[in-house]
Amino acid sequence: MMKYNDMEKKNIGATFALYPTPDTIIGTEVDGKVNWVNIAHLGIVGMDKIMLSMHKSHYSNKGIKQNKTATVNLISKDMIVKADYVGIVSGHKIDKSNVFEYYYGTLKAAPLIKDSPISMECKLVDNYETEEEDNFILKIVNTYVDENILDEDGKIDYEKFKPVLFEMPTKSYLETGNKVGNCWSDGKNYI
């Protein structure tokens, strides 16, 4: 067994090293007015729920709590300028309702971005609060997808879509899309 000091790795401390993560625009209504915020701190909770970790200072949190709904809109690289803008200005001070063209799905309580290749309409299930964050657990109710990014089986083809990722340490947006292996298959070649 190797000891730590025998390895050729450097300990950089308690660094959050799960980046990059998908960059999304969260759609809400706050006091009846549309608002958008850029959020990349999110995750999967089971097979039908997601979590948005949002600092309590975000204006959009109020809308999620009021209406018990939100939309999660993935972005493509041609949306970066607008997406970044809604992340650096606050709905407390600036009306962001017209930054994106939008529509409503079946829940009719949170806007979906027309140009987003993938938009999820969600209901609030719970909020796990920490000292500085609201961690909203959302159940996905509907997913709206541009047909041109679906494969022949009607599933999302991420090689076609190439969602934008957010990478915190270098404050960069990255593009995905290259298949490098086959899940539940490549490992069979180990033995």
Any domain includes 8: no
Q: Please state the domain count of the chain.
A: 1
Which residues of the chain fall short of a pLDDT of 70?
A: 1-7
List the domain range (segments joined by +) for residue 99: 19-189
Check residue 2 and give its pLDDT: 61
CATH of the domain at 168: 2.30.110.10
Any domain includes 143: yes
Check residue 1 and give its pLDDT: 62
Any domain includes 5: no
For 127, phi and psi rounded to 5 degrees? -135, 110
Kindly report the pTM of this predicted structure.
0.92
What is the per-residue pLDDT across 173-188, written as a single tens digit (0 to 9) for each?
A: 998 877 788 888 888 8
Identify the helix (H) or strand (E) that includes residue 22. strand 21-22
Check residue 18 and give its pLDDT: 85
Any domain includes 14: no
Check residue 181 and give its pLDDT: 86
Check residue 7 and give its pLDDT: 67
Any domain includes 3: no
